[in-house]
Amino acid sequence: MDLSATHEVPASSSNNGALDYPTVEDYVGNTPLVRLQRLKTNPSNVILAKLEGNNPAGSVKDRPAVSMIAEAERKGIIKPGDTLIEATSGNTGIALAMAAAIRGYKLKLIMPANMSEERRAAMAAYGAELISVPAGKMELARDLAQELQARGVGVVLDQFGNQDNPLGHFKGTGPEVWEQTSGRITHFVSSMGTTGTIMGVSQYLKEKNPNIQIVGLQPSEGASIAGIRRWPKQYLPKIFQEERVDRVMEIGQREAEEAMRALAKVEGIFAGVSSGGAVSAALRLSAEVENATIVCIICDRGDRYLSTGVFSEEAAASDPQPCSVSEFPSAAARLVGLPEPHYILFTADPDPETGEPWCPDCARCLGAARSRVAAAGGTLLEVQVGQRPVWKDKGHPLRYHAALQLSGIPTLVRWQPDGTPGARLGAELEAASTPQEADQLIKDFVSSDLRFAAAAQDGSGVDVQALIQELDKASMSDGAVAH
């Protein structure tokens, strides 16, 4: 099969000698690349989502599944009718089951018993034989696969060590994003499981333009995101080559899930949790750069996760959870899908004992802000800006919020689509000749016990850079910062 970026029908002979129709395999790859319209952090950048859930078996894994079987066949290692074996708990199992069905192979999939019912059912529907090992024992599944191969039962494809996994992306995903962006891509973001996607795409894109930044995504400490792993150095997949990844970003489970829900609600892209993570990473990245074309991989479709409850009303009702400073750009962008008016409150980190901010001003402000926003029927995003040392850092982008709070003026930033009264305040602040005057302007800009400062918004998405610049203009005196 042709793994390149075209869908041209192979020139095989057809039964009636007249027409060559494609097979399902011919529709693996060539997935759509779509522009995000509402989830943004910087209007000068474009974020593009590569919809891998549009592959026939529903995930990015269709590519390596077909590539590994086709290449093994080409090398004479396997032939139709043989038995293939793989230890897998996720999308690879479903993709291999499809590819084995298309090419006429038997397939034994070994997986932990706690695999979701819908996944098992999908693999079985494609005719795969499922072998269970005790829940959570993926290593045992791998050992068993090797043992079955040693006993001559079949051939293990081994997606973690098989170069034909990244090859599927080198020949397909890489050229597709290059062509679909007319070579304009500046950043590529992919979550990392076997790392096949990021390895293959990186190799292709770097050959085209070594300046393209390749950003890998891994779950943060303690996070569990299906399909991706935080690999300890000694367990990194054999196909992984460190030099092919310029930067690794860490995303928490809750952030990935919130982004996944927002993606469905405001972009119409129904995807899985690792895809939410990739979008979050793209949004964070977009807050740092200008005039960029960022491509992120949407690994699979959301319906594969329905039984886990991540799309339930109950799960959505708790959005947005308090976020960290590093998450702030993506959390602010996600507000677009939540009830208005939108408020953002910067607070100290919570005290581990009480769960409330360690700063008494913040705790007082938080209580008032929560009830005020609840009464308005709006959404409050709480941003935990850190502990005392962080607040004193003059280079910290949120230092002025912290400074305002420490000087006893809790700052509740209100987002308004038309940019007022934030725009008015911004203009006044620009005209202010001294930091003290700017400080006074903010102090005057009050409507109740909470002080409001509104941020600029361009109407299509939150412009975090503009917000920070605007607040920077409200320069505080050193005395106020040194609390």
Active site members: 61, 274
DSSP string covering 258-296, please?
A: HHHHHHHHHH---B-HHHHHHHHHHHHHHTT-SS-EEEE
Q: Restricting to residues 303-332, which ones interact with ligand PLP according to CB under 6 A?
A: none
Stretch that binds ligand PLP, among 110-118, 120-128, 220-228, 320-328 (CB under 6 A): 220-228
Between the CA of residue 8 and those of 2, 64, 68, 313, what are the distances in Å?
Answer: 9, 19, 21, 43
Q: Which is nearer to ligand PLP, 155 or 278 (CB)?
A: 278
Based on the shown chain and the rule CB under 6 A, indicate whether residue 91 belongs to the binding site for ligand PLP. Answer: yes
Stretch that binds ligand PLP, among 90-98, 109-117, 262-270, 395-403 (CB under 6 A): 90-98
CA atoms within 13 A on the CB side of 231: 21
Q: How far is the CB of 311 from ligand PLP (least distance, A)?
A: 15
Based on the shown chain and the rule CB under 6 A, indicate whether residue 119 belongs to the binding site for ligand PLP. Answer: no
Based on the shown chain and the rule CB under 6 A, indicate whether residue 299 belongs to the binding site for ligand PLP. Answer: yes
Q: Which is nearer to ligand PLP, 270 or 415 (CB)?
A: 270
Q: How far is the CB of 13 from ligand PLP (least distance, A)?
A: 35
Stretch that binds ligand PLP, among 30-38, 67-75, 224-232, 440-448 (CB under 6 A): 224-232
Q: How far is the CB of 218 from ligand PLP (least distance, A)?
A: 10
Based on the shown chain and the rule CB under 6 A, indicate whether residue 300 belongs to the binding site for ligand PLP. Answer: yes
Residue 237 CB partners (closer than 8 Å, separation 6+): 160, 161, 194, 195, 231
- Pick the closest to residue 92 from 237, 233, 203, 265 (CA basis): 237
Q: How far is the CB of 378 from ligand PLP (least distance, A)?
A: 33
Stretch that binds ligand PLP, among 123-131, 187-195, 250-258, 430-438 (CB under 6 A): 187-195
Q: Which is nearer to ligand PLP, 306 or 446 (CB)?
A: 306
DSSP string covering 178-209, please?
A: HHHTTT---EEEEE-SSSHHHHHHHHHHHHH-
For residue 56, how many other CB atoms are within 10 A of its CB?
18
Q: Total residues at the site for ligand PLP (CB under 6 A)?
A: 20
Residue type, 316: A
Residue with structure tokens 């974020």? Answer: 47
Stretch that binds ligand PLP, among 14-22, 194-202, 364-372, 437-445 (CB under 6 A): 194-202
Stretch that binds ligand PLP, among 88-96, 384-392, 424-432, 459-467 (CB under 6 A): 88-96
Q: Which is nearer to ligand PLP, 172 or 386 (CB)?
A: 172
Based on the shown chain and the rule CB under 6 A, indicate whether residue 168 belongs to the binding site for ligand PLP. Answer: no
Stretch that binds ligand PLP, among 107-115, 124-132, 226-234, 308-316 (CB under 6 A): 226-234
User: What strands, in cross-sheet order, belong to the sheet with 213-219?
Assistant: 33-35, 46-51, 293-298, 187-191, 213-219, 247-251
Residue 452 CB partners (closer than 8 Å, separation 6+): 412, 413, 414, 445, 446
Separation CA 159–CA 181 (nearest Å): 29
User: Of the candidates 58, 154, 219, 272, which one interacts with ligand PLP according to CB under 6 A?
Assistant: 272
Q: How far is the CB of 274 from ligand PLP (least distance, A)?
A: 3
Q: How far is the CB of 3 from ligand PLP (least distance, A)?
A: 15
User: Of the candidates 107, 148, 185, 228, which one interacts with ligand PLP according to CB under 6 A?
Assistant: 228
Q: Restricting to residues 363-402, which ones interact with ligand PLP according to CB under 6 A?
A: none
- Pick the closest to residue 460 from 31, 154, 35 (CA basis): 35
CA 244: distance to chain centroid?
Answer: 19
Specify the DSSP class assigned to residue 10: P
CA 427-431-482 angle, 5° bins: 100
User: Of the candidates 29, 172, 193, 252, which one interacts with ligand PLP according to CB under 6 A?
Assistant: 193
Q: Which is nearer to ligand PLP, 197 or 384 (CB)?
A: 197
Q: How far is the CB of 300 from ligand PLP (least distance, A)?
A: 5
Is the Cβ–Cβ distance between 410 and 361 less than 8 Å?
A: yes
Specify the DSSP class assigned to residue 476: P
Q: Which is nearer to ligand PLP, 26 or 62 (CB)?
A: 62
Q: How far is the CB of 366 from ligand PLP (least distance, A)?
A: 35
Which residue's Cβ lies closest to ligand PLP? 227
Is the Cβ–Cβ distance between 216 and 250 less than 8 Å?
A: no
Compute the chain's Rg from CA coordinates. Answer: 25
List b or e across 145-175, with b for residues whose CB sees 16 or more CB atoms inside 10 angstroms.
Answer: beebbeeeebbbbbbbebebbbbbbbbbbbb
What mask, x for binding ligand PLP by CB under 6 A, covers residues 49 to 68? ----------xxx-------
What is the SS3 assignment for 389?
A: helix
User: Of the candidates 67, 195, 213, 379, which one interacts with ligand PLP according to CB under 6 A?
Assistant: 195
Based on the shown chain and the rule CB under 6 A, indicate whether residue 194 belongs to the binding site for ligand PLP. Answer: yes
> The tokens of 447 are what?
């409507």
Specify the DSSP class assigned to residue 457: B
Interface residues toward ligand PLP, by CB under 6 A = 59-61, 90-92, 191-197, 226-228, 272, 274, 299-300
